[in-house]
Structure formats: C-alpha cells, structure tokens
Amino acid sequence: MRTIAPLFALALLVLPATAQETWSAYENPAFNYAVDIPPGFEGQGAEANGSGETFLFDGRVGRLKIWAAPLGASGFETESYGQLASDMASGWGVTERSTTPTWATWSGAKKDRVLKEHMIALCDGKAYAALRFDYAQTDRSKFDPLVDQLVASLKADC
C-alpha cells in the first residue's frame, strides 16, 4: 500500500504532460479527407477555396501545408510525378520516393531544410489530397519522429 500512493501521485504529475501531447484532427468536408495535426502546430486559416490549410510550429520553424485539388485528365500518377518534378526543379534533392497508383511519397533536402510530401488519391478518383511538411535540418530530432504518423494519418473519407 505504501508504494501505491507515491506511484499514484507520480501518475497525476505525468498526466497533464501527456494530455498536452494529443494530436488534433483536421477534417476537410469539401474534399472528404482528414489528417492528424501534431501538438504545437497552429492553423493559419483555411484556404479561400476550401481546399486545405497551413499549420506553423513556433512561427515558421516547421511548416505543414495540407491541401486537396482536382486531378487533371491524365490522373493521379501523372499529377504526383509532376509535383515531384517541380520539387526537383526547385532545388530539392530527393532522398527517397515511392509511388503507387493511389499514393505517392517523397523526401528531400535543400540547403538547411528537410521536406516530406505525401499524396493520396481521393475516393472519387477525380481529386487528391496532400501534405507537405518542411523544417530546418537542425530540428530533425524534433520533427522526424512526427513524419510517419502524419503520413499514416492522411486518409480519404469514403
């Protein structure tokens, strides 16, 4: 019994810190997709066209952009390759990439920044949703652990 009281008191101290680490959800009813937002990221207001929103961590240390858009006539794979090519043309050195007919993901580096982009085809096959997370190389220990959960959380609401 004597060891239970100190353990209970310790648990009460830990609970508030854990509660602060809860991820929130961003849901987009216009395009029917959702993604989890890490703690500490603040929304900057919805895009005027209702496609998504940008979230910033500590001003601009980490930038998470979430959006959706209609696909062109050539489809998802062509759109994803086009966005990847655009990043490469902008100077992002691609360090890894993977593409399927319904999702695409790549990582890159540029000077002192890190990039992760992930795209998914939406249920109707006529649009896609994407997230783009970029942050400073010096913040990799803080943000790298968030990437897998971010990517896994981007889902179409079918």
Which CATH number goes with the domain that contains 61? 3.40.1000.10
Domain span at residue 56 reads: 23-156
Instruction: Report whether pLDDT(3) > 80.
Output: no
Whether 8 maps to a domain, the answer reads no
Assign 3-state DSSP to the chain and report helix, strand, coil percentages, each to 5: 30, 40, 30
Selection from 117, 158, 153 nearest residue 135 by Cα:
117
Say if 5 falls within a structural domain. Answer: no
Q: In this structure, is residue 13 part of a structural domain?
A: no
Q: Is residue 132 part of a domain?
A: yes
Task: Please tell me the predicted confidence (pLDDT) of residue 48.
Answer: 84
The answer as to whether 17 is a domain residue is no
Place of tokens 């399927």: 100
Looking at every residue in the chain, the average pLDDT score rounds to 87
How many domains in the chain? 1
Q: Is residue 85 part of a domain?
A: yes
pTM given for the model: 0.83
Separation CA 115–CA 107 (nearest Å): 5
Length of the chain measured in residues: 158
Q: What is the pLDDT of residue 19?
A: 41
Q: What is the pLDDT of residue 62?
A: 92
Examine residue 10 and state whether it is found in any structural domain, yes or no. Answer: no
Domain assignment present for 128:
yes
How far is the C-alpha of 30 from the C-alpha of 84, rounded, in Å? Answer: 25
pLDDT above 90: residue 70: yes
State the virtual CA torsion across 138, 144, 146, 148 in degrees, nearest 10. 160
Cβ pair 28, 18 in contact under 8 A: no
